[in-house]
Amino acid sequence: MILTVTLNTAVDLTYRVPALVPHASHRVTQVIERPGGKGLNVARVLAALGHETVATGFAGGATGAVLREQLATTPVRDELVDTAGPTRRTVAIVDNATGDTTQLNEPGPTVTAAEWTVFRTRFTALLDGAAAVALCGSLPPGIHVGAYAELVRLARTAGVPVLLDTSGEPLRRGIAARPDLVKPNADELAQLTGSRDPLRATREARGRGARTVVSSLGPEGLLAATPEGLWRAAPPAAVKGNPTGAGDSAVAGLLSGLVDATPWPDRLARAVALSAATVLSPVAGEFDPTAYEELLPRVKVIEEPDRP
């Protein structure tokens, strides 16, 4: 079983408009609603790949009820903890003329100390039997900034490999707790290390405590610093579409490869192909299976010389 944690779940709304024009009214041509938040996107992709997947985190209010109703229609097992505050919504506005996406994210509910204690107890119980755990996304109001570091330590104590995908101070504190893998994007990596050079920043991030750092370089693919070496992986060509959830699909690919014990080049190829296939899908947290199968053997994976 793979466990995913989404402390700040959401109901994702995707609006499609012919063209997004500031200060103008728009006629929406399509509305898609899905359970969201980074960890839930990861969970749905893992389930689509055939992995038994359990999702935990928080959900509350009328929005949380909608999220849980929708999650019940998927193969993902719901182990979310109730909150008094309502689950947030996120809105992605896709401009059909350009293919660009504008994202609006609500902050999320304020989680109480008592609710955090309930979650921590459930998380600890779920670690029993987990092959791996992913800690994903932002922290909702009320949760202390070292929460991910606390969860990393709990997973390490239980002997469960842990992947961390967050940003800012939660990433800085979480990486010091020595997760098995972190997956920052280029901006998150620069904020963490102060360096805009991807190779230098990835190496420095690994030196801060993570066993492996896989950096997302957007359309250029992934850069991985692992105990076994350095690799770059890139799609065969640039893909155009909705990038929402592409990084989450890459996380799912990395976790899937970890559980399957595949070599690092194969893990990275899987992650890149899933990410690109998600860009080609109209809905966050889903990927185009045909595109994935076509892209996978064409992903370019190159081993880098390990020099300073």
- Hey, which residues are catalytic here? 248
CB 55 within 8 A of CB 123: no
20: nearest Cα among 101, 128, 130, 84: 101
CB 258 within 8 A of CB 133: no
Phi, psi (rounded to 5 degrees) for 56: -130, 170
Residues 6 or more apart in contact with residue 32 via CB below 8 angstroms: 13, 14, 282, 283
C-alpha distance from residue 10 to each of 29, 76, 104, 106 (Å): 22, 16, 12, 9
CB 19 within 8 A of CB 260: no
222: nearest Cα among 119, 157, 302, 284: 302
Radius of gyration in angstroms for the set of CA atoms belonging to the chain, rounded to a whole number: 18
> Exposure string (b/e) for 198-214, b if CB count within 10 Å is 16 or more?
beebbbbbbeebbebbb
